[in-house]
Structure 1
Amino acid sequence: MRILWMVLLGTLFIHANVDQEGITKQAIVKIYTTAKIPNYQEPWSSSMQSRTGSGAIIEGGYILTNAHVVANQAFIEVERYGQRKRYIAKVYAVSHQADLALLKVKDPSFFTGVTPLTFGALPQVEQKIVVYGYPMGGSTLSATIGVVSRIEHHTYAHSGEAFLAIQVDAAVNPGNSGGPALSDGKIVGVVMQHISKSQSIGYLVPVNMVKHFIDDMKDGKYDGFADLGLGTQKLENPAIRRYYGLDENTSGKLIVKVVYNSSLAGSLKEGDILTAVDGHNVENDGTVEFRKHEFTHYQHFIDAYQMGEKVKLDIIRDRKPMQVEAELKYTADDIYLVKTTRYDTMPSYFVYGGYVFAPLTRNLIVSTNLNRLNLSCLASRWQEEEKSEVVVLLKVLASDISRGDNDFAMWPIDQINGEKFKDFKEFYRKMQTAKDDYIVLKDEDGVQVIIDRKEAQGKQDEILKKYNIEFDRSIDLRE
């Protein structure tokens, strides 16, 4: 009788697992995106691209997926597990920083019979997970099993910014992007990327990042993840520790730069030592313990707050402990000289007598190998009060008035007619309002490009027609 009872319990357990698995699968979605891909080397043109990804239906009638699955989207369709009908979807919210997006489907029949997936907690290392999605190699739903390998800060390929990420050994392939990773039937992460030349190294956007994004969007506006605008240095060297009077029981990071528009500009100064964030001790390598024996970058406890909230920082100044409060007001785009990777918008540009000018973005840097080292150095610099954006001479369209200048490409401009400028729009205004016979452009080394103003204006239409360029400037400048 006891054996029979155990058999019956085992059968019920198997049926329960099968039922739960069926409920889970009903919430998995395949996403079809047609995207308009900008050409940053020819910013007046673009191409169309089709891609597929995965997603999950969550509470509120949303589909959770990756931002890169729907980036630059022109048209989106979604298809539920076990069905062949596609429904039109729209992007409701997107965080290109965290590579996350929420989609909406207008037709209510899409959600009929679906139990939305719910969120779990940040998983433990070695915890078992199941990854669902529609990867390459087939057209039906795929499920792969693995474990959490590690949790730490990692660069998100989509944005180039670093956030907490979950590394897993479950098979992750193109098409899996945006699919949920579940543990005990609850979402613990969203598949985002893998290392192609590795053996089973995939990464998830962790559930705490997903919850932050969803909470951020509750007011209908995306604010993002904050950047403090601090440059810091490790304090592992014994000599530098002695120089700043630190004993063996004190750890932290040396503040070597406070960006002029940082919310901490009036509270911190170079030479201060950051010892704790939100009450969590900062180690000499810049990490914090977020769980027992697990460490990651101190930014983790800043990312836990929403924009507009405040976080407490413990510092040492002149060998005395202090505490300051940082209001979170700026993202990386507000802090760095070169904007982070752009999506969902066409690039800015203008053509002046065949000379093509554009603001320097990370998209532009990765679109070519020209001058890559110099431009990458610019991308690591902070904004200054008098300079918030780099402008480049993107290329020179060959014509009789530009002979000898055709080798200029991806060339950073420092001055126009002896005057500096703050950003691309100010540079554009100076070009448009110039009255001198010649426009003289210089870089930081004094190299010059000289344009005959009247000649350039007279040849403009002819050059645009020759190169089949409809508009001499991007839509943001036309507006």
Structure 2
Amino acid sequence: MRARHLICYSLAGSFVFTGCDRTAPAPSETPPVVVIPEAPVPAADLTHSVVRVNTTYQAWNPGQPWEKLEPRQRRSLGAVLKNHQVLTTAEMVADSTFIELESSDGRKLTPATVTAVDYEANLALLALDDDEFSADLEPLDLADDSKIGDELDIVQIENSGLPLITHGLIQSMDVVSNFLPGQYFLTYELKASMQTAASSFTLPALKDGKLAGLLTSYSSSDQLSDITATEIVRHFLADAADGDYVGFPSLGISTAALDDDKFRDWLGLDPQTGGIYISGVLKGGAAEAAGVQVGDVVTSIAGFEVDPTGYIQHPIYGRLFWSHLVRGAQPVGATLPLEVIRNGEKQTLEATLTRRESSLVPLHTFGEAPRFVVKGGLVFQELTRDLLRSFGKEWRDNAPLNLLEAYDNPEAFEDRMDHVVFLAGVIPTPATIGYESLRNLIVTEVNEQPIRDMKSLAQAFETVPANGLHTIRFDDQEVPIELDESVSTVVDGQLLQRGLSRLSRLE
């Protein structure tokens, strides 16, 4: 999945400002003239520097969290690195139950384990412990950072073992979301005409015989490929080198562009002043610790002046969105100087970058079993981004507004709850008569006990009121519902007898 950023999204924070929906302007550089070969050309010297990655994965059923979906398989091409390591995408290892590496000629197979994974940047590092398999492998070195106009080579391997190389030129650069929505990282956009070939889910991209990045998407109609930038790969590998992967930092802000003249006039900004408007600050994040406040205008980050659309002029990449200065150019713990305008006065702040993220609605739950409680036929779950995605490809348009509000604006909920527990659905039973149409309601109290997570919900149901009726209250709903304890207990036993594997999962 591939998406360009929206200016109003928090690209270096952990929540978003949804007051606008304009896409950011395209970079101003004139794309170079691109000459595309009619077909990929054969290559004979890369068969020992790439391996096929075969993955079996099995996700949990979002609608029935007590069971898994059918297992599925993916196949890609990974890049061989030093120390018996293979680089692939996080998408390849998500919810994996078995990962196998296969030599390019198909003659050798060996299992692999994940040593580091970053679902936000869509990168994963695999390790193999098979001397016979790795004996003939030739590790790739990492290339230097690329710029617009540089040529990259996309590597493919046919089922026959024949390697193919597709040449292309970097047409532009931008920060792009290619796996997890709202997570944007520096990406090369490559103009190249590729053909369908085996192991094409993810492909290595080379520059002068060295690894430049990984292909994460390809549009056959536009002949454009998205390549994770070398700088992002280098950051990931350096972080993973000590065996204790931390991840990319965040600033913890939500922002809006300043390209609207009326908005600028309201803020009292002169025509020459650029910057980004701070519309939200994550509690406990790097920006809050640095003293950034809602209403500030950040005009400079790490010495780079920010224009009214949120772009900076990078010495290598050209015109680039500001978020790369946080997520990609710096490690956790780095100090980032910020120039801000507050109430018409200029100030200099220093932010120490951290990994503080809102846990209210997890961005992903790969490899984790979903937490839930079934009580009398009422099905309660903790809200995750994966659950929101179950509303379809256009989940941002189809998902309930109250659940999207919790996802987009966690700061409005974090004082009341640690995770969002909501009534996901109702199984028709004698205990739920009249409640069959209820769903997607955020739970705030059960038996006058505040609900902060799934554990607190289960504990609240353990306290049976004197009248035998559990009282359940929901956010933005004045009238609570009641659930008969004696009837629901009988129903729970019947649900287990009829095939429900369990009634809860709290961890």
Shift of 1:144: 2.1
1:101-142 Cα offsets, whole Å, 9 max, x none, are 11111111212132211111222223221111358x987544
Larger helix percent: 1
Contact map agreement 1:131 1:180 (CA 8 A) in 2: yes
The alignment partner of 1:462 has SS state of: helix
Distance 1:255 1:172, change over 3 A: farther
415, 431, 437: which one aligns with 1:385: 415
CA contact under 8 A between 1:133 and 1:177: conserved in structure 2? no
For normalisation by structure 2, the TM-score amounts to 0.83
Unaligned 5+ segments in structure 2 are: 1-40
Name the CA distance, whole Å, in 1 between partners of 2:428 and 2:495. Answer: 9
- The 5 Å alignment of 1:91-110 reads 91-110=114-133
The partner residue of 2:378 within 355, 367, 388 is: 355
* Structure 2 residue 473 is the aligned partner of structure 1 residue 473: no
Give the counterpart letter for 1:465 in structure 2: Q
The aligned counterpart of 2:492 is 460
Deviation (angstroms), 1:175: 3.6
Distance apart, 1:143 and its partner CA: 2.8
> Is 1:395 paired with 2:428?
no
How do 1:280-429 and structure 2 match up within 5 A?
A: 280-291=304-315, 294-303=318-327, 304-331=329-356, 334-335=357-358, 337-368=360-391, 372-374=399-401, 375-383=403-411, 384-429=414-459
Unpaired segments ≥5 residues, structure 1: 1-17
Moved more, 457-466 or 115-124: 457-466
Query: CA contact under 8 A between 2:173 and 2:187: conserved in structure 1?
Result: yes
Q: What is the CA–CA distance in structure 1 between the aligned matches of 2:370 and 2:162, rounded to whole Å?
A: 37
1:367, CA displacement in angstroms?
A: 1.3
TM-score with structure 1 setting the length: 0.87
1:8 corresponds in structure 2 to none
Shift of 1:21: 5.0
Query: What letter is aligned with 2:483?
Result: I
Matches within 5 A, 1:178-189: 178-189=202-213
- CA shift, 1:346, in A, is 1.9
Cα distance in 1, alignment partners of residues 49 and 335 from structure 2: 37
Larger radius of gyration: 1
Q: Which amino acid aligns with 1:412?
A: I
Say whether the 8 Å CA contact 1:76–1:88 is kept in structure 2: yes
Deviations 1:413-432 (A, max 9, x none): 23333454333333333333
Question: Residues 141-290 of structure 1 correspond to what in structure 2 (within 5 A)?
Answer: 141-158=163-180, 160-170=182-192, 171=194, 175-195=199-219, 198-266=221-289, 267-290=291-314
Give 1:6's aligned residue. Answer: none
CA distance in 2, matches of 1:202, 1:348: 37
Distance 1:31 1:23 in 2: 19
Are the structure 2 counterparts of residues 195 and 22 from structure 1 closer, same or farther at C-alpha, using a change threshold of 3 Å? closer
What SS does the corresponding residue of 2:287 show, helix, strand or coil?
coil
Distance verdict in 2 for CA 1:156–1:88, change over 3 Å? same
Amino acid at match of 2:288: A
Report how far residue 258 of structure 1 moved.
Answer: 1.5
- For residues 405 and 120 of structure 1, the distance between their equivalents in structure 2, rounded to whole angstroms, comes to 60
SS at the partner of 2:354? coil
Determine the C-alpha separation between the residues in 1 that align with 2:82 and 2:270. Answer: 51
Structure 2 distance, partners of 1:192, 1:255, is: 31
Partner of 2:27: none
Aligned partner of 1:5 in structure 2 is none
CA contact 1:30–1:78 (8 Å) conserved in 2: yes
Describe the shift of the 1:299–1:426 C-alpha distance in structure 2 as closer, same or farther (beyond 3 A).
farther
Percent identity between matched residues is: 25
What CA distance in whole angstroms lies between the structure 2 residues aligned with 1:397 and 1:221? 44
Map Cα deviations across residues 289-330 of structure 1 (whole Å, 9 max, x no partner): 223682222110111222233222111122222111212223
Partner of 1:29: 51
Q: In the alignment, is the contact (CA less than 8 A) between 1:336 and 1:380 conserved in 2?
A: no
Cα–Cα, structure 1 residues 456 and 62, in superposed 2: closer, same or farther, change >3 Å?
Answer: same
Larger RCO: 1 or 2 (CA < 8 Å, sep 6+): 2
2:250–2:286: 8 Å Cα contact kept in structure 1? no
Contact 1:172 1:200 in 2 (8 A): no
CA distance in 1, matches of 2:154, 2:138: 18
Q: Contact between 2:425 and 2:440, CA under 8 Å: does it hold in 1? A: yes
SS at match of 2:387: helix
Show the counterpart of 2:100.
Answer: 77
Q: Which residue of 1 aligns with 2:14?
A: none
Aligned amino acid, residue 327 of structure 1: T
**1:456 positional shift:** 1.5
Q: In 2, Cα distance between the equivalents of 1:432 and 1:206?
A: 52
- Taking the aligned partners of 2:240 and 2:83, their CA distance within structure 1 comes to 13
1:115 aligned to which of 120, 125, 138: 138
Distance, in Å, in 2 between the alignment partners of 1:292 and 1:208 is 11
- Whether 1:450 aligns to 2:486 is no
Measured on the aligned residues, the alpha-carbon RMSD in Å equals 2.6
Give CA deviations for 1:217-275 in whole Å, capped at 9, x if unaligned.
12322222222221222222233333433233321112122122223325121221111
Tell me if structure 1 keeps the 8 A contact 2:93–2:99.
yes
Distance 1:140 1:377, change over 3 A: farther
User: Does the 8 Å CA contact 2:122/2:178 hold for their aligned counterparts?
Assistant: yes
Question: How has the CA–CA distance of structure 1 residues 37 and 166 changed in structure 2, closer, same or farther, with 3 Å as cutoff?
Answer: same
Q: 2:326 is paired with a residue of what secondary structure? A: helix
